[in-house]
Amino acid sequence: MQILDGKTVANAVKEQLITETVAHKNATSHSPHLAAILIGNDGASETYVASKIKNCADVGFKSTLIRFDATATEKEITEAVIKLNEDDDVNGILVQLPLPKHINEAVIINLINPTKDVDGFHPISVGKLVQGLPTFVPATPFGIMLMLQHYQIETAGKHAVVIGRSNIVGRPMSILLSQNTQYGNCTVTLCHSRTKDLEKICAGADIIVAALGIPGFLTADMVKEGAVVIDVGITRVADESKKSGYAIKGDVDFENVAPKCSFITPVPGGVGLMTIAALLKNTLAATSAKQ
């Protein structure tokens, strides 16, 4: 069993980005610039955005954080996105999800200029992804593909099971794994909350991507010997032994599943780090495309 180490791969991606960013700055006197909009004070969202901002600094990007109270109106958020669309210095825009219930997520995402859509959630980005055209790939599935590539995991002809059909993880993941590309070419089964016989489907899988948000959901009896297991789940579970009062748990029962796997990602230290590295890659791509 080999651990797919998010730290190693993310650092390799970041090293490459640092070199490319220096070259970009020397050529243009401009720094890649990511702008993030954060609404409310959800603890997990605060942590993710803070990490994205820190990672921008690590690779030499500029970043701007625009904060709103949870009571902000859709009009206020709309105006902020339009302003960032029009700002020539800003290359990438992300709106941290989830949004408060009174704000229509689709309205906000559809407003982002597709050339700055570094999260890859705009319908134009999604359409291009489905057609296999160059585009911004949502950061989590993109990060997982970078990981498969780094460890040269063979995927062609394999049966991949993706658990979860969200627009940000499961669905784009299923598309990427099924595409006719070097780390695609899988036969993909996309499972969700209404799937029957999930245990049986998983037990036949060569590759499992668990992205449902239920800690420890994927148990050893659902995994065949030698499978590749990618754990996307991040759930905060109360843990008084931690200073923060919680521990981060993945969707996989790691302790019992890991011994059966050929490769497995840990949580934390796996996909989460790759998500940020992929977002940075998208931001530099947005910057380079503009020049």
Q: Is 275 in the site for ligand NAD (CB under 6 A)?
A: yes
Helices assigned H by DSSP within 73-113: 74-86, 105-111
d(CA 142, CA 118): 11
Which one of the listed residues 14, 116, 117, 119 is annotated catalytic?
119
Which one of 92, 141, 170, 172 is in contact with ligand NAD (CB under 6 A)?
A: 170
In sequence order, the β-bridge partners of residue 161 are 189, 208
Residue 191 lies near ligand NAD (rule: CB under 6 A): yes
Q: How many CA atoms lie within 13 A of 18 on its CB side?
A: 10
List beta partners, residue 37: 66, 95
Contacting residue, 169, 222, 252, 277, with ligand NAD by CB under 6 A: 169
Residue pair 282/139 in contact by the 8 Å Cβ criterion: yes
Among 180, 128, 130, 135, CA closest to 155: 180
Report the nearest approach of ligand NAD to the CB of residue 129 (Å). Answer: 16
> Between 99 and 128, how does the x/- string for binding to ligand NAD read (CB under 6 A)?
------------------------------
Among 62, 150, 159, 192, binds ligand NAD (CB under 6 A): 192
| Cβ 83 to ligand NAD shortest distance, Å | 27
Contact criterion met (CB below 8 Å) for 267 and 258: no
Q: Of 140, 212, 219, which is closest to residue 176 (Cα–Cα)?
A: 140
Q: State yes or no: residue 186 binds ligand NAD (CB under 6 A).
A: no
- Which listed residue (52, 116, 249, 281) is catalytic? 52
- As a whole number of angstroms, the longest Cα–Cα distance in the chain is 57
Whether residue 119 lies in the annotated active site: yes
In Å, what is the CA distance from 33 to each residue of 25, 120, 206? Answer: 12, 16, 39
52 catalytic residue (yes or no):
yes
* Contact call for residue 284 and ligand NAD (CB under 6 A): no
Which position has the token pair 């991507």?
A: 209
Q: Choosing from 14, 96, 206, 231, which is the catalytic residue? A: 96
Query: From the list 21, 235, 282, 287, which residue makes contact with ligand NAD (rule: CB under 6 A)?
Result: 235
Q: How far is the CB of 273 from ligand NAD (least distance, A)?
A: 8
What lies within 8 Å, CB to CB, of 80 at 6+ separation is: 37, 66, 68
Least distance from ligand NAD to the Cβ atom of residue 79, Å:
27
CA proximity to 80, closest of 31, 50, 37, 47: 37
281 is catalytic: no
Strand partners, 94: 36
Nearer Cβ to ligand NAD, position 90 or 129?
A: 129
285 touches ligand NAD (CB under 6 A): no
H or E element, residue 261? strand 261-264
Q: Residue 160 interacts with ligand NAD (CB under 6 A)?
A: no
Shortest separation between residue 211's beta carbon and ligand NAD, angstroms: 4
Contact 119, 139 (CB under 8 A): yes
Query: Least separation, in Å, of the C-beta of 36 and ligand NAD?
Result: 15
Residue 219 in the binding site for ligand NAD (CB under 6 A): no
**What residues line the site for ligand NAD (CB under 6 A)?**
140, 163-166, 168-170, 191-193, 195, 198, 211-214, 232-235, 271-272, 275
Question: Hey, which residues are catalytic here?
Answer: 52, 96, 119
